Structure 1
Amino acid sequence: MDLSCRNNGYFVVVVMIVVGLIGTCVNGDNDGDSVGAPMVKTEQEALYSAIQGFVGNWWNGSDLFPDPCGWTPIQGVSCDLFDGFWYVTELNIGQTYDNSLPCAPNLEFRPQFFQLQHLKSLTFSNCIISPNQATVSIQTANWSSFSTTLESLEFRANPGLSGQVPTAFGSLKKLQSLVFIDNRLSGSLPVNIGNLTSLKRLVMSGNMFTGKIPDNYGCLSGLLIMDLSRNLLSGNVPLTFGGLTSILKVDLSKNQLEGEIPSEISSLKSLTLLDLSNNNISGGLNFSNQEMTSLEELVLSNNPINGDLVNFNWQHVYNLMALDLSNTGLTGVIPESVSNLKNLRFLGLNDNKLSGSLSPKLGELGNLTALYVHGNNLTGDLKFSRQFYQRMGRRFGAWNNSNLCFPMSKVSASVRPFGVKLCREQQS
């Protein structure tokens, strides 16, 4: 398959943990004594001005923190040594900790901010918090000055942050983590983010993004996590997603996506989570044409998928631990082959049009802790053991199946599942 990706190469997977350091500076690779190391004056002035732009003119850094990478560290600022001088490498802005600096209502990205020469990580958390006042947008100018340094860029829980994602972010070629969670960003997803081949994590959930997912996002062969959930995205799941060869988790839930699940998805050998729930996905369950040995969670609930369960290749997803196909318009019977999913812990098949009987082999799944089949057209008597009902309790849901019954002659009434009638031979 030709994915038309412009950039190829080998990527080293770097799992990066971004930690907000409270009032401390860290040593770099310099082997010399860092005690009393100076800070370049222009770097220091740029830091003061940048923070003042974020928190307000009331803040006087030069008076409060004359040695910001030494004996008077600034909350949320981390530094590193480069050629014997301190430089800012990490900024955490917002009300992350009890004594964090609050953001100003008229927050601005001052020109001096873009003069920080070695900035690697920038985070805004609970910073731009008032959507009822004048909203703040991300200025587009000068982000390219971080193109060779910035590795992590995050905006978390900023309901006052609106507007579009600057296309200039596409120039941040060292970026490994790009996170926008629970803001009010809108517009389309920038196409040139698909050119950031160093990306390991792309999370843009809980915003107001519209339009299609760019095809070239499937060219991010080093990507580990993609979360575009809780937006207003439309169109199909791109066929190019077969190029996400390193991907572990894909969450596209709670959007307006449509069309079929592309069979290219089944080529993702490292995929552990696929969540497409709460969309308009249709076309049946036809995507599993190869073994997806790593897949542990498959969540497709609340989609008009339709079709049946019989023709799905369950042997290709034998490591599944959670399967949620509730409210997907499924018809036909529940095949006995589902009981071969020995690692299954959660099975949701409720609110469909399934018919036939429940195989007692489902009750033999030793790891199963929740089974929901309510709201179907299932028939016959339940043939599970007393131990099964005791283990499951209310986590076994079988109500609203008018022709399904509980055989009290074989199993005690004390474990009778909620909402299931007694079989006829036990009725007076």
Structure 2
Amino acid sequence: MESLNYFRALIVVLCLLFALSLNSSNGDHNNNNNNNNEDEDDDDGGMPSSSPMKISQKEALFSAIQGFVGKWWNGSHLYPDPCGWTPIQGVSCDFYDGFWYVTELRIGPVHDNSLRCSNEKIEFPHQLFDLIRLKTLSFFNCFVSGRPANIPAENWGFLAGSLESLEFRSNPGLAGEVPEGLGKLEKLESLVIMENSLTGELPESIGRLRNLRRLNLAGNLFSGGIPAGMTSLDRLLILDLSNNSLSGFLPESFSGLVSVMKLDLSNNNLSGNIPAAIGNLDNLTVLDFRNNRFSGGLPKSLERLTSLEELALSGNPIGGEISGVDWRRLAGLTALDLANANLSGNIPAGIGEIRRLRFLGLNDNNLTGEISPDLAKLPEVSSMYFHGNNLRGRLPFSEGFYRRLGRRFGGWDNPGLCCPVGSVSEKFVPIGVKICRRGGVVTTGRDGSTVEIESWGDQDSRSTAGFASCFSSVVVVLMEVLFVVLIWQ
């Protein structure tokens, strides 16, 4: 019996050893397959994580970073290279001909571990222009007040064959003018020079950047006119020149911006007529000309902008009749801002047919007549301002409408306008609007004319009017009682 047990144990041990040998064999086979796959990847031009970086490119990158960050940074902690196992935050690379090249360099506090500019005076290192594959170059909050710096005038031609995006964003210490040399960046698709302290006129050379899709020069101190060449950038999708001191007229050549979707010239000193050629910009979705000096009335060509979603012309002495445009054609509008534009006439009923409208600003004009009840049917409107006009008659809106808009409804400073109670309880009467009363009354309008409207009393005088009515009734009753007493005596 013992020999039988021993024999069984021996068989079990042999089976285990056989199983282990099979696993070892399979493991070796899998390793061989993996090695073969790696060899195949190398043969197919794969990108090993430890691929080399040319010494000249590595030195150019390190010197460029030191120029902005400070001499304390030397990259010694990077192994084996800045594009391999230990990349730098703000630096991206691509693989060309067996070597890593820097394709993106972003300087500024975007992330906690981003490259941040030195507290000392900064000058652009010339090694920056040795990064021959650079596609994106960005500086955010790098040049601060008290440490002025200028955009270099030279060497941009060295990046002409690669650079596609250039940004200088939120750098209050970046002063001087935009150099003409930027016009050499023939592959540039995005140029953002926003919220800096740059001055002078816009360079004509920007008009040579034929591949631009986005041009944002907002929030600087630029002056002078808009270069004519800029208006022929037929691939441009976004043009934002807002918040500068630009002046002069808009040329008819603006019709050359055939692809533009957003055109923002707000908060400048531009003047003259809004050119009729603006109606040729078929793809325009945002048109913002607020706070300039445009005059000459609303161009009828605006009604051809059937893709338009936002139209803002407030803060201009435009003048003329608001009904000069057939607003029904702009069915896609979500925001219409014509406040403080010196417009006159009745509010067109066609505005009530813009079913997607969410914001309507018609305040501080010279509008007259009654408010169309069609405006009460706009399903998505959330803000509506009529204050500061010569409107009259009853407000046509329901209590639910006022409840929804609240303080986003403005109707005050219209002497002939009143709100009917009954369908609207007094607590929802808009601020500054009178309550409609029975009977007629003649009042003086904002322009000194007389306007006959329904009698009204403002909210503060309601209690006084009620008290007077009640007092009169009491006096009548007392007089009747006294008369009866005298007769019985």
Q: Which amino acid is 1:76 matched to?
A: G
Q: Report the CA distance between 1:139 and its aligned residue.
A: 1.1
Higher Rg of the two aligned structures: 2
Q: Report the CA distance between 1:410 and its aligned residue.
A: 3.6
Percent sequence identity over aligned pairs: 53
Determine the structure 1 residue equivalent to 2:411.
398
Determine the structure 1 residue equivalent to 2:189.
176
Determine the structure 2 residue equivalent to 1:307.
320
| Alpha-carbon contact 1:333-1:355 (below 8 Å) kept | yes
User: Structure 2 residue aligned with 1:61, among 42, 54, 75?
Assistant: 75
RMSD: 1.5
Q: Does residue 126 in structure 1 map to residue 135 in structure 2?
A: no
Q: Which amino acid is 1:249 matched to?
A: K
User: Structure 2 residue aligned with 1:80, among 94, 110, 115?
Assistant: 94
TM-score (norm 2): 0.79
- Between stretches 140-149 and 55-64, larger displacement belongs to 55-64
User: Structure 2 residue aligned with 1:113, among 125, 128, 133?
Assistant: 128
Distance in 2, Cα, partners of 1:117 & 1:289: 46
Would you tell me which structure has more helix in proportion to its own residues?
2
| Alpha-carbon contact 2:327-2:351 (below 8 Å) kept | yes
Determine the structure 1 residue equivalent to 2:84.
70
User: Structure 1 residue aligned with 2:267, among 236, 254, 258?
Assistant: 254
Change (3 A) 1:134 1:128: closer
Distance in 1, Cα, partners of 2:161 & 2:383: 49
Which digits, 9 at most, give the CA deviation of each residue in 1:149-181, with x for residues without a partner? 000000111000001111110010000000011
Q: For 1:21-32, what aligned pairs fall within 5 Å after superposition?
A: 31-32=45-46
Which digits, 9 at most, give the CA deviation of each residue in 1:299-356, with x for residues without a partner? 0111111111112122332211100011111112111121121111110001111111
Q: Report the CA distance between 1:64 and its aligned residue.
A: 4.9
Q: Which amino acid is 1:112 matched to?
A: Q
Q: Which amino acid is 1:49 matched to?
A: S
Tell me the matched-pair count: 397
Q: For 1:11-410, what aligned pairs fall within 5 Å after superposition?
A: 31-62=45-76, 64=78, 67-104=81-118, 105-129=120-144, 131=145, 133-288=146-301, 291-410=304-423
Distance in 1, Cα, partners of 2:302 & 2:213: 27
| Alpha-carbon contact 1:214-1:238 (below 8 Å) kept | no
Distance in 2, Cα, partners of 1:287 & 1:204: 29
Q: Report the CA distance between 1:35 and its aligned residue.
A: 2.0
Q: Report the CA distance between 1:386 and its aligned residue.
A: 2.4
Distance in 2, Cα, partners of 1:351 & 1:367: 23
Distance in 2, Cα, partners of 1:323 & 1:408: 29
Change (3 A) 1:99 1:377: same
Distance in 2, Cα, partners of 1:290 & 1:385: 30
Change (3 A) 1:338 1:367: same
- Structure 2 unmatched runs, 5+: 1-43, 439-455, 458-464, 466-489
Distance in 2, Cα, partners of 1:164 & 1:60: 32
Q: Report the CA distance between 1:287 and its aligned residue.
A: 4.3
Query: Equivalent residue of 1:423, what SS?
Result: strand
- Structure 1 unmatched runs, 5+: 1-29
Query: Equivalent residue of 1:241, what SS?
Result: helix
Determine the structure 2 residue equivalent to 1:417.
430
Q: Report the CA distance between 1:247 and its aligned residue.
A: 0.7
- Tell me: higher relative CO, structure 1 or 2? Use CA pairs within 8 A at least 6 residues apart: 1
Q: Which amino acid is 1:201 matched to?
A: R
| Alpha-carbon contact 2:122-2:147 (below 8 Å) kept | no
| Alpha-carbon contact 1:355-1:377 (below 8 Å) kept | yes
Q: Which amino acid is 2:60 matched to?
A: A
Determine the structure 1 residue equivalent to 2:40.
none
